[in-house]
Amino acid sequence: QSALTQPASVSGSPGQSITISCTGTSSDVGSYNLVSWYQQHPGKAPKLMIYEVSKRPSGVSNRFSGSKSGNTASLTISGLQAEDEADYYCCSYAGSSTLIFGGGTKLTVL
Amino acid sequence: EVQLVESGGGLVQPGRSLRLSCAASGFTFDDYAMHWVRQAPGKGLEWVSGISWNSGSIGYADSVKGRFTISRDNAKNSLYLQMNSLRAEDTALYYCAKGLGAAAATGDFDYWGQGTLVTVSS
C-alpha cells in the first residue's frame, strides 16, 4: 500500500481556479469510483469535500468539483477564496476493504 | 448533532498495548461504517482501519495488520481500536470517523472526532 501521489503544494490568486491531482494505480483509483477529497485547516479535523469522485456533500460549496481519468483523480476549486487555503487529501478504496490516502497538498492563496 | 469523542490515548512504551474508544451520539450508530484514521505530528492522514455496520467487513492498513484490532459495540454506540506491540512510528493523533454509508469499503468520512493523541516512547 503506497500512498497516492499528490503535488506537495499548489497556489493561486483569489478568483482563479486550481486543480489538485491524485495519482494512484489500476488497483485503487483506476478500478473504483470511490475517491474522496478532504480539506484540513491547521489544528482542525478534516472535512469531506467530495466523495465517489464527483459528489458534493450537503453544505459544500459548488466551487469544489471532482473528476477522474484513468488512474488519476482531480479536485478543482474555482473562484479561489482566502478561506480555501488549507491542506487537501485524496482517499481511494484499494480493494479488500482497505483505503489509502494521498500524501496531501498544501494550497496557498496568494 | 453528530458527536464523536475519542479517548484512551496517552504515553506508552514501545511493545506495550493501548485501547482507544470512540463514543458516538446524534445518529443511528448501527447504520454506518466506522473508521480510524491517524495523523503523525506534522504529517499527512493515514487510514488505519474500518469496520462495516454489522462488523461483517473489516479492513486494516498493512502498517498495523496483525497488531491492531478494530471492533464496535452497537448497543453502546462505541467504536474501539485495540493496539498491541506498539512502535514509535505509531505515534499520532488518532481520529474516529463516521462513514457516509454502511459499508466499510468507501472512504467517505462525513464526521470526525477531535482525535486522541498516542505517543509511543521509552
Inform me whether the C-beta atom of residue A88 falls under 8 Å from chain B C-beta atoms. no
**Cα dist from A96 to B25, B54, B80, whole Å:** 29, 17, 21
Closest CB to A91 among B47, B57, B59: B47
Give Cα B117 to chain centroid, integer Å. 12
Average pLDDT of chain A is 96
Q: Judge: B106–A93 Cβ closer than 8 Å, yes or no.
A: yes
| Kind of pairing between the strands at A86-93 and B116-120 | unpaired
All residues of chain B having their beta carbon less than 8 Å from the beta carbon of residue A1 are: 61-63
Burial B54-63 (b: 16+ CB within 10 A, else e): eeebbbbbee
pLDDT of residue B102: 81
- Between residues 15 and 74 of chain A, which touch chain B (CB distance below 8 Å)? 34-36, 38, 40, 45-48, 51-52, 57
pLDDT in tens, A25-47: 999 999 999 999 999 999 999 99
**Cα dist from A11 to A79, B51, B80, B106, whole Å:** 13, 37, 39, 29
CA distance B85 to chain A (A): 21
Does residue A51 surpass a pLDDT of 90? yes
Q: What percent of chain A has pLDDT over 90?
A: 97
For every one of its 122 residues, what pLDDT tens digit does chain B have, with 9 covering 90 and above? 999 999 999 999 999 999 999 999 999 999 999 999 999 999 999 999 999 999 999 999 999 999 999 999 999 999 999 999 999 999 999 999 999 988 877 889 999 999 999 999 99
Residue B83, H or E segment: strand B78-83
pLDDT of residue B103: 81
Q: Determine the residue of chain B that is closest to A48 in CA distance.
A: B110
- The owner of cell 488497483 is A27
CA angle (B94, B98, B22) in 5-degree steps: 50
Is-contact A44 A38, C-beta < 8 A?
no
CA distance A105 to chain B (A): 9
> In sequence order, what are the beta bridge partners of A105?
A88
Inform me whether the C-beta atom of residue A110 falls under 8 Å from chain B C-beta atoms. no
Stated length of chain A: 110
pLDDT of residue A61: 96
Q: Determine the residue of chain B that is closest to A106 in CA distance.
A: B44
Determine the average pLDDT of the residues in A72-93: 97
CA distance B39 to chain A (A): 10
pLDDT of residue A2: 84
Q: Judge: B45–A51 Cβ closer than 8 Å, yes or no.
A: no
